[in-house]
Homo-oligomer: A and B are copies of this chain.
């Protein structure tokens, strides 16, 4: 076995991953600048979290340049699915279907969104045939 469960990212880590997914490989300064459009996070704070994420294996670091370049190790969708599976396990008795149904009834979706979901259902049903 090469790869254990990647650890669940914390809130701050997720915010940083969001930047990396959007921008691609980035330096600490890139990430810091992107995040500081909204709230204020110190430069060294971002650096520290990226270092921790490197230790955890959430990101990969390229040290060939003076300003190290960080890249998310797992894709956005993979991480999202991991988070969903995790939440299903912890709060929905392991049932992803319950999770979906709760997510659907918990809010008013537009007709367009409902149709998009319906199409996805059709695709899935076709595949599993």
Residues on A lying within 8 angstroms of B by beta carbon are: 11, 14-15, 18, 77, 79-81, 83-85, 87-88, 90-93, 96-97, 99-109, 111, 113-114, 116-118, 120-121, 124-125, 128
Which residue in B14, B90, B117 is a CB contact (below 8 Å) of A104? B117
Show 19 residue pairs from A and B whose CB-CB distance is below 8 angstroms, ordered by the A residue.
A14-B90, A14-B91, A18-B93, A80-B99, A81-B102, A81-B103, A81-B106, A83-B91, A84-B87, A85-B106, A96-B103, A96-B107, A100-B117, A105-B124, A109-B128, A114-B121, A114-B125, A117-B121, A121-B121
In contact, A97 and B124 (Cβ under 8 angstroms): no
Given known A-B contacts A91-B14, A92-B80, A106-B81, A101 and B128 have beta carbons under 8 A apart: no
Interface of A is mostly: helix
- Shortest distance from the beta carbon of A122 to any chain B beta carbon, whole Å: 9
In the complex, chain B residues whose CB is within 8 Å of the CB of A15:
90
In contact, B120 and A91 (Cβ under 8 angstroms): no
- Which residue in chain B gives the minimum CB-CB distance to A92? B80
- Shortest distance from the beta carbon of A9 to any chain B beta carbon, whole Å: 9
- Which residue in chain B gives the minimum CB-CB distance to A80? B102
